[in-house]
Amino acid sequence: MKAAVLHEIGGVPRYEDFPDPVAGDGEVVIDVRAVAVETVDKRIAAGTHYASRNYTAQLPAIPAFDGVGTLPDGTLVGFGNPRLPYGALAEKTVVPEGSYVPVAEGIDPATATVLGTAITAMSARTAAGFVPGETVLVQGATGVAGRLAVKVSRLLGAGRVVATGRDDDRLRSLGADAVINTAVLDDVLAQAYLDAKGDGYDVVLDYLWGRPTEILLRSLVPKTFAFPKPTRLVQIGESAGAGLDLAAESLRTSGVEIYGAARGLDPRSMNEAYGQIVAWTQPGSSPSTW
């Protein structure tokens, strides 16, 4: 079969022949139809992701760990967790039985790969315990995942959605209640967070980290003694930087609680989240019943 094959950490995968996978006990071979190459895939191949060693311990290897394909009976599924060295960027891969969910009829395979990206926005529920009516701040709403997060927040029943990013026109097109351009001076950005927060941000879906989130956290520190409203920040991405300077008072007095996006995830909740996203793609779908 043909595949994108990685021969060295930090190298560029090469399009070449690779042995076909053979299913072992409890496994199934998937005919791959579409794969979305995401930042995490690139970082794993580059050796800069914390989980890189798990996926590149055996080289040569095929990158990417999820995609859309067909089972031997022709059923279209979204799959994950392929057995090394068979990643998703190939004509075929092999995964454990049950490491896939059916894709609803009528959804194009390429579109289905993007639905997986929307799972990160579901961390508002799985990680932060979002309830309908709350205010959601999406940090980094001009990227694909961020734009989906705005839509998912609406479908989950957010009372208000605030979107941040560097492209005003794109932000306004999302239909958020308020937009914040992060490409401004620090003091201006801090004030923009305060002006847009209304009664407070209940949940922050953070695809940025770095400078914008550092300024956000600083802006949430109260100016007087008070019982602050909790803000549950879910750390998802780091497109604006891998680190930040976190002042102690940003946690001690602001009511901010920081969670990783994987909090609350297990195979059951992951399948439920994906199932809800797929359901929203169907004609006549209604807001969340999840």
Domain boundaries along the sequence of the chain: 2-103, 119-260
Please tell me the distance from the alpha carbon of residue 271 to that of residue 276, in angstroms, as a whole number.
9
Q: Which of 177, 169, 112 is closest to 138 using CA atoms?
A: 177
pLDDT at 287: 61
Please tell me the distance from the alpha carbon of residue 46 to that of residue 10, in angstroms, as a whole number.
4
b/e 230-244 (16+ beta carbons within 10 angstroms → b): ebbbbbbbbbbeeeb
Q: How far, in Å, are 126, 140, 200 from residue 224 at the CA level?
A: 32, 30, 16
pLDDT in tens, 67-116: 999 999 999 998 988 999 999 999 999 999 988 888 877 888 988 888 87
pLDDT at 172: 81
Q: Which two tokens stand for residue 192?
A: 């923009």
- Identical fold between 2-103 and 119-260: no
Q: Report whether CATH 3.40.50.720 matches the domain 119-260.
A: yes
pLDDT at 288: 56
pLDDT at 28: 97
* CATH class of the region 2-103: alpha beta
pLDDT in tens, 28-60: 999 999 998 888 888 888 888 888 888 888 899
- In which residue ranges of the chain is pLDDT below 50? none
